[in-house]
Amino acid sequence: MANRSRNVLLYQDELSILLSRVPASILLVSFVVALSLLISGCGFEPVYVLRDQGGQATLLRNIDLPDTRAGRYLGNQLRSRVTPGEEGGLALYVTLEETRADALIATDGNTERVNLTMTAVVRLEAAGAKIVEQRRFRVSSSYNRTSSELANQETEASLRNTALDRIASDIQFLLADLPADTSNPR
């Protein structure tokens, strides 16, 4: 009999432990819901959120890019990200430079790893050729060379496009950070 009463006490203890865990999980869930409601009303917006076109005040009247494959790709990326304007606004001038350098050379003289660097010099001009902003953006990446020349070319083209996407994003952020009155150069 003592064993049965002991089992019953253990069973009752388990029930009491289980019952004490249930309200804790309910309290945790209600706390998370209350916290999320509190945070949602504070106006917090993550940095990576893309805004609609209505929030952009900076208009570009002209985009001048090099007439190369990289320049055309960058132009397509910029035209999808910035607001064009016919009058007033800023003129955007971009020069691109691409450099390739051997990063790792094997003992037999073959290149094993290649660094690819895309550099963009960006100049924003207001009416009257006043320079509003001038910046240099540089994106570096590297890839392993393989025995297949086609694979090397595809990898390099992919890295080039990724670098140009990042440069287009940097230009977009530069335009978003400009003051509302861009007629006064910095």
Topology (CATH level 3) of domain 58-177: Double Stranded RNA Binding Domain (3.30.160)
pLDDT at position 165 over 70:
yes
Mean pLDDT of the 112-133 span: 88
Positive/negative CA dihedral, 27, 33, 34, 35: positive
- Looking at residue 8, its pLDDT comes to 47
What proportions of the chain, in percent to the nearest 5, are helix, strand and coil?
45, 30, 25
> pLDDT above 90 covers what percent of the chain?
27
- To the nearest whole number, what is the mean pLDDT of the chain? 76
Side-by-side strand order, sheet with 90-105: 83-84, 59-64, 90-105, 111-126, 130-144
As a whole number of Å, the end-to-end CA separation of the chain is: 91
| Residue 18: per-residue pLDDT | 47
Say yes or no to pLDDT of 148 above 80: yes
What is the pLDDT averaged over residues 131-160? 90
Compute the distance between CA of residue 124 and CA of residue 76 in angstroms, rounded to an integer. 18
Burial (CB count within 10 angstroms: exposed 0-12, middle 13-18, buried 19+), residue 120: buried
pLDDT at residue 130 greater than cutoff 90: no
Of the candidates 65, 64, 73, the one whose C-alpha atom is nearest the C-alpha of residue 159 is: 73
Residues 124, 91 contacting (CB under 8 angstroms): yes
Write down the pLDDT at residue 172: 87
Q: What is the band of 186 on the pLDDT scale with cuts at 50, 70, 90? A: very low
* Angle, CA 74 vertex, CA 70 and CA 75 arms, to 5°: 115
Render pLDDT for 42-92 as a digit per residue (tens, 0 to 9).
Answer: 665 555 544 544 444 457 778 889 999 999 999 999 888 877 766 667 888
- 6-28 mean pLDDT: 54
Question: Where do the domains of the chain lie?
Answer: 1-44, 58-177
